[in-house]
Structures are given as structure tokens and as C-alpha cells.
Amino acid sequence: MESLPISLPPADFLSTIPPSPPAGSPIDLSRLSSPESNADVQVNGAANPPHDTTSADSQGNPAPSAENSESATNSVTSKAEIQKQLSLNAAASRQSERLLYSVPDVTSNVDFDGLSGDMAMHLLDLHWNGLHFTYLLTYRPAIMDSLLNNGPYVNKLLLTAIYFQSSIYSNFGFHSDPNDPQTTGMAFYSRFKQLLPDYIDEPTLPTIVALLICGECLIPYGKQSAGWVYCGMAYRMITDMGYHLNIPPEKGAESGITATDMEMRRRVYWGAYAVDKFQSVCLGRQPALSLLEGTLPSDFLDWHEESVEWKPYKDPKTPALDSVTILGSPAHAVSIFQRSLRLATITERIIKSLYSIDKASLTASESLHTRNMLKGHLVHWRAVTPAHLRYDTSDDTPTPPPHLLSL
């Protein structure tokens, strides 16, 4: 199973980035919290956000209250407690997902926006198996639980974006024109554009994720302008909702922010930050999100996907062509994304140092010095990347998951 190609940025960068340290020295990542930190969890989100981004379910109904919600952990402020609870919830959620395969009545009650249960689950499985790991924008336990129980973390726009993205890698040929492979998934894109006006007036977390997924998906189609615009809408929604800000635990508790909310906001903001940097490098445009403008910790609370087994996707409805047994390997999903995120911060520095307007007047010697300094950052990033997250083509070990190869 392939992962969606990472769209990568130049552009200029905000002048607020501090002066670069000497060549080879690490970038100051003080705001990028270490996963090993023992500090208490700091609830993210604006102290007084204009809207509650998780206040409606996929049908527009109010979200369940924190007291009644299965994930009502707003009274828990210990990082260790929240990590434990989220990990347990993630494991339980995987068990609940089996109902979608084994109990037909459950699938028949889920609104897949017109798709059959089998086809919808095929596209969702493709997403969770590979595409999801690129930026970890989609928090699986919350989305699948909401899909089963009509919760607030998924809507039709997000489902359609996932269908669109996954259809590119499906063997079932989702072509609008059977003779034109460029039309693969375009029916889902048309549906996305049809749904979008209904979700613009009241931004929500799933709408933000939907815009990011669709925006990224359009780049390989050659629709760079549309992709850039959709992602830009998502960035503005993030700022509008205050998802780039951190607030004290007690204020989060007062606002009914749950552990699931905390985790989703971190993943959405930092996933969007990485999308912004890599897409800007690819398209030669200015990024929208600056490291200095956000105060949200970057360490994720749920590390369940770090140790789960990853195997190439094989559709359960398709007969096997051979009897080859494919060995699985640990997904290392969170640690791989954390390394990718640190690479995104270097990308931000590259953009600021080389592609901003005020750098056009640099002399040749100044440009060479800047180039050497930036190369030092990249060399250091590579040097401190754990050995199990590096892929050596000369090694005889099995080929790692696609999201590690793209690191």
C-alpha cells in the first residue's frame, strides 16, 4: 500500500524567526515538546474560541455533553492519566470496528453517504493502512467511534475527502470516464464541492481535516491552485477556532474539553503545520502557519499507533493471488511523524533564509554561508534520527512501511 506523495514548499517566511544558529547546531525546538516530558498536559484551543469546533455531529446535532460522553476526561489533567486512558480507548475502538465487518445490521445503520458498507470500508481501510500515516491528521478512535455512534468527529465532507484520497490507490477503478485514468476519484471530488457550502459557515474539526486531505489530494492531479486554496481555508479555520493556542488545564476542564479533543487538536494543528511547509516548498509559495505563532505542545498523548503492526493492505473481499505470507512490522507512526515535524521546522527556516524577499540582496558569500548553515541543520536532523527510523538500501532487512520511506 502506497502512501500519498508528500507535497513539499518555497516561499518566503515570516521575519519573526530568530537568527539562525551556527552551522551544524540544532534548531531551537523548545516549543516542540518531548514525548518523554513529565509535565502535566496543557489543554489546547483558544481560551475563548469563537465557536466550539466539536459542537455538532455529522447530522448537525449538538455533541454529547462532557458528562455523558464516552471520552469525558476533562477532569483529568495528569498527562500520564490521559495517555493511559486514550491508549485504552484506542485499543477498545479497534475491537468495536470489527462490528462493521462482522455484524451487517451495524453497517446498515451507518450513513456512508451513498456508498455500500463494503465499498466504504474498503476506502477507509486504505486510508488507515497508509495514507493516514503521512500527517496523522485523522484520529482513528474518534472518527470510527463517531461513524458508529453519530458522534461529532466525522461528517460527510470528511468521509468524502477520505473516499477521494483513497480511491486513487484502489484497485476497483473509481473512474468517471473508464477510458481516462485522470478521472479517478473525480466523482468524489464533485461530491466534495457539492457538500462544501454547507460546512463553511460553522467550521468544525472534521471540516478542517476534510479541507486538508482534499487539498493535499489535488496536488498529484495537477490542481495546485485548488489544493492550495482548500488548505488555506483550513489554516484560517484553525486560527479562527484557536487550535494553534494552548490553554491551562483548568480552563479546558471548564470548557468541557476532553482528552479526545486535546489529542485531535494537537494532531490537526501540527499535521496542518507540516502540510503547510512541505506543500509550500513544492509549490514555491509562502507558508501560512508559523512555528512562532502557535503555543500548542507538539507531543501527542496517544501512542497506540506506535506499536501496532503494519502490513501492506489486502482487501478482504479480493481472493489472494498467491500464498505468500507477508510479515508485519511496528508502525512507529507517532515517532515517524515527530521526525517529519522537526524536518518541517527546518523547512520553515530554509524558506525564511533563502526565499524571502529581503534575502534577494544577499551577496554570494552570504548565500553560501546560509546554505552551509542550513545543510548543517539537515545533517544534524539525520544524525539524531533513531536507527530504526532510517532506511538503508544496502541492508537486507524487510522494506519498511511507506510512511517511513517518505521520511
| pLDDT (tens digit per residue) in 240-296 | 999 999 876 667 667 788 889 989 999 999 999 999 999 999 998 989 999 988 899
Whether 11 contacts 136, CB under 8 Å: no
Considering only 219-233, 351-365, 391-405, which range has the smallest mean pLDDT?
A: 391-405
304: nearest Cα among 278, 338, 334, 343: 334
Domain ranges of the chain: 79-318
Mean pLDDT taken over the chain: 80
Tens digits of residue pLDDT in 397-407: 777 888 898 88
Give CA–CA dist 302/187, Å, rounded.
Answer: 35
Give CA–CA dist 201/54, Å, rounded.
Answer: 14
Query: Facing residues of 361 across strands?
Result: none
pLDDT over 90, % of the chain: 46
Confidence of residue 333 (pLDDT cuts 50, 70, 90): very high
**Average pLDDT score over residue span 175-181:** 79
pLDDT over 70, % of the chain: 78
Q: How far is CA 295 from each of CA 241, 246, 255, rounded to the nearest angstrom?
A: 14, 5, 18
Neighbours of 182 (CB within 10 A): 11
Whether 105 contacts 327, CB under 8 Å: no
